Structure 1
Amino acid sequence: MRETEEQADLRAVVRRFLAERADLTRVRTLMAGDGTVDQTVWKEITRGLGLVGLAVPELWGGAGRGLAEETVVLEEAGRALYGGPYLAASVLAPALLLEVGDEAACAAHLPAILAGDTLAVPVVTSGTGEWSAGGGDLTARADGTGGWTLGGVASHVVDASAADLLLVVAGTTDGPALFAVPTMGPGVTVTPQPGLDQTRGLARVELREAAGTRIGGRRVDTAVRELRDRAWVAVAAEQLGVASRCLELSVDYATTRQQFGGPIGRFQAVKHLCADMYLTVEAARSVVLYAERAIDELLPERTVGAAMARVWCSDAACRVAADTVQVHGGIGFTWESDVHLYFKRAEASALLFGDPDDAAEIVAAARLEETR
């Protein structure tokens, strides 16, 4: 499993763009502000580079590629600590619409999402922030006129503060269903939530008698489970980017920081630490490549592959980020150093969309089944 020439070109374009338009100086500026999305950069991503909808079929205006191309962008986004809504709005929201399979809804929403005219995010978490295929703490009821009214709370919704449209999974009398809810509509309150990772926007969504349009198609609980697999691999790709950049920072610091007449990288303890980090990063890369391929090719083991990526990359990012702090010594703990930003992203990402232990149970169950 190797990166294609097209994917390598895509990586180069995205890396150059983020370095020029969304570097860490800009990241820190946005952190110090009100947490809003840099709309200029986002419009360049959507309209200039066409990075939104890489996995959306050409029928709906997408590039007709797959998760493999999206993970290239996500890895670079993680490497740069890009805080824009690419994960939620470009990867997960279109995937949820496609998984549900309502052609009318796809026609109504996908072109605007891909053009950058609508910023849609999925709401698939409970009031405590756990991933929920059944609607969590959100419910919907028919209003008697053909419409629907929604109520309840969802927490830790990624990029909801920047959204124009919420794709809400809510429970109904006949099971979970998907609804399109405009954020500016009555009864919709979106409140930013502080988090350990200040580079990623999270919000609490509260619905009180909010009007929504039901999106039909296949069973929503099945679609949300498929979306969870994609979300785990997407976050794993970001975590790979974080770990990869931490390795680069560690090696650079170890070869330039002088102590006792030479670079600290000549000390065996530092050498071994960097070598272990390299092995961890490359193993994470292999896991992500396997998991994305399993989803793109609809392999039977795609859920297990996604769970493996979730477990390994969560641990890898946290371990490599922590080791990067150790390599940098005292300066690694300071606000002026960028190291702590990567450490916080790694730790927070490990808990995004649920506990990695849930994914570990899926992997363990699959391995036990193989032994029977």
Structure 2
Amino acid sequence: MQFTESPEQSELRSSVRRFLAEKSPSTAVREQMETVAGYDDAVWKQLSVQLGLPSLAIPEEYGGAGFSFVEQCIVLEEMGRTLYCGPFFASAVLAATVLLKSGDEQAKSRYLPGIASGETIATLAFTDDSGGWSGNGSGLSAADGKLTGHRNFVLDGHNAALVLATARTPEGLFLYAVDAHAAGLTATALPTLDQTRRLARLEFDGVEAELIGPAEAALAATLDVAALALAAEQLGGAQAALDMAVAYGKIREQFGKPIGSFQALKHRCADLLLEVESTRSAVIYGSWAVAEDADEVPVVASLAKAYASETFFHAAAENIQLHGGIGFTWEHDAHLYFKRAKASELLFGDPAYHRERLAGRIGI
């Protein structure tokens, strides 16, 4: 593996960063936070058609670009840096991955091209009211090709055109494809701490569904990929919070000199830099492990998610503290990163959850 980016990967990062700087500045993020959908459809179409970002990690035979998870993590890091509001994670990461892991060639050929082009916004519905992220809970059952029950905390569930839902049957947990406009399916947007990421509750009342296949193995593999993908996004957010704090330290003066020249603030920023760079190493290694389909993915996924969660939250909190009074105001962007950090810390399992999983996976 390589810890340095290839020229092509560096150009991808630069292109995505330029695009998001223009299309997803904090002013646009704040506007989209107030809308029902929570994202700008025109920007999503540009991101999909002009840059082809949803297609990156999807194989060419299914309409994708045929790149790897390494490139997808670069994109996710840049999206985390700007708090991009859009269904990329739900559609291009969760839904696309569970389809690829399902082993159902018919389902892949039918649904992945639309996801790759951005024309189909998809999501994965697997959590119940307990708030657990293992996907082993109840809440949704299947019988005679129809789903009854609910799924909660579904990423972009109210925006999706395609819902991939896990449901219980007497034979076990299975994955189903559901048209979001099917009769009996109701999607309700949920109030969230992080207004830049939308969650929904889906109610199924005898909804017609297409069986894809057994879900347990595919879901477990997908959640490991999702944990690493979220760690990449958290890395981008942590770096942005650190950059924001350092920039402010250079321009804010106290006692006739920039506050960044004070040793106490230097130490705090140095500690954050160490944490951010350590997170970067974990994310790079994890993205390589997924790209190579390495056996250690489950271990690396939990390790990276736990560490990235703590790093992002620490960086976001310190950013507020280093800004002083202005950092606590609604007008400043620091609180947006703090809320994203806290919500992301809990999404797919908090650090304690992943450390427990990590201990079990390495036999401690």
Give the TM-score taking structure 1 as reference length.
0.95
More deviation, 342-351/110-119: 110-119
Q: Residue 283 of structure 1: which of 275, 278, 285 is its match?
A: 278
Q: What letter corresponds to residue 182 of structure 2 in structure 1?
A: G
RMSD: 1.3
1:161-176 map, 5 Å: 161-176=158-173
**For 2:157, which of 155, 160, 173 is the aligned residue?**
160
1:266 aligns with 2:261: yes
Do the aligned residues in 2 keep the contact of 1:136 with 1:154 (CA within 8 Å)?
no
Q: CA deviation at 1:260?
A: 0.7
Q: Contact 2:55 / 2:117 at 8 angstroms: preserved in 1? A: no
- Aligned residues of 1:135 and 1:169 also touching (Cα < 8 A): no
Kindly tell me the number of residue pairs found equivalent between the two proteins: 362
Q: Given that residues 29 and 196 in structure 2 are in contact (C-alpha distance below 8 angstroms), is that contact kept between their aligned partners in structure 1?
A: yes
Contact 2:194 2:336 in 1 (8 A): yes
Tell whether the 8 Å contact from 2:54 to 2:116 is kept in structure 1 after alignment: yes
CA distance in 2, matches of 1:187, 1:356: 37
Post-superposition shift, 1:206?
Answer: 1.1
**Of 102, 105, 122, which residue of structure 1 is paired with 2:104?**
102
Please list the CA deviations of residues 249-286 of structure 1 after superposition, one character each: whole Å capped at 9, or x if unmatched.
01000000011101001111111011111111000000
Question: CA separation in 2, counterparts of 1:239 and 1:268?
Answer: 27
State the alpha-carbon separation in 2 of the partners of residues 336 and 95 from structure 1. Answer: 37
Which residue type is aligned with residue 19 of structure 1?
A
Residue 71 (structure 1) aligns with:
73
SS at match of 2:219: helix
Are positions 1:201 and 2:202 aligned together? no
Q: Which amino acid aligns with 1:150?
A: L
- Report if aligned partners of 1:168, 1:180 keep a CA contact under 8 Å in 2: yes
* Contact 1:134/1:169, CA 8 A, preserved across alignment: no
Residue of structure 1 in register with 2:63 after alignment: 61
Following superposition, the deviation at residue 367 of structure 1 comes to: 4.8
Report the equivalent of 1:241: 236
Deviation of the 1:128 alpha carbon:
3.2
Q: Which moved more, 1:128-137 or 1:178-187?
A: 128-137
1:160–1:202 contact (8 Å) kept in structure 2:
yes
State the distance in 2 between where 1:261 and 1:247 align: 24
The whole-number CA distance in structure 1 between the counterparts of 2:281 and 2:312 is 14
Specify the alignment match of 1:26 in structure 2.
Answer: 28
| In structure 2, distance between residues paired with 1:113 and 1:252 | 38
In the alignment, structure 1 residue 321 sits paired with structure 2 residue 316:
yes
Partners of 1:71 and 1:237 within 8 A in 2: yes
- Equivalent residue letter for 1:226: A
Per the alignment, in what secondary structure is the counterpart of residue 195 of structure 2?
coil
Q: For the residues of structure 2 that align with 1:336 and 1:136, how far apart are their CA atoms? A: 42
Aligned equivalents of 2:248, 2:265: Cα separation in 1: 11
State the alpha-carbon separation in 1 of the partners of residues 351 and 322 from structure 2. 26
Deviation at 1:129, TM superposition (A): 3.4
Q: Which residue matches 1:184? A: 181
Q: Is the 8 A contact 1:52 1:86 kept in 2?
A: yes
Q: 1:335-366, CA deviations, whole angstroms, 9 ceiling, x for partnerless residues?
A: 01000000000000011122332210122234
Partner of 1:45: 47
- Once the 2 structures are TM-superposed, how far is the Cα of residue 5 of structure 1 from its aligned partner? 1.6
1:273-311 deviation digits (Å, cap 9, x = unpaired): 111111110000001011111111122211000000110
Match for 1:93 among 95, 114, 117?
Answer: 95
- Aligned identity (percent) is 46
Code of the aligned partner of 2:51: L
SS of structure 2 residue aligned to 1:76: helix
Q: Matched residues in 2 for 1:241 and 1:195: separation?
A: 21
TM-score (ref. length: structure 2): 0.97
* Number of the residue aligned with 1:141: 143
Structure 2: gaps of 5 or more residues: none
In the alignment, the residues of structure 2 paired with residue 320 and residue 337 of structure 1 have an alpha-carbon distance, to the nearest angstrom, of: 16
Mapped to 2, the partners of 1:75 and 1:119 lie a distance apart of 21
Residue aligned with 2:346, SS: coil
Residue segments in structure 1 that go unaligned for 5+ positions in a row: 143-147
Is residue 302 from structure 1 mapped to residue 297 from structure 2 by the alignment?
A: yes
Instruction: Tell me which amino acid in the other structure corresponds to 1:112.
Output: G
CA displacement at 1:48 relative to structure 2:
1.3
Aligned AA for 1:68? Answer: V
In the other structure, the counterpart of 1:311 is 306
| Equivalent residues of 2:299, 2:362 under 8 A apart | no
Contact 1:141 1:149 in 2 (8 A): yes
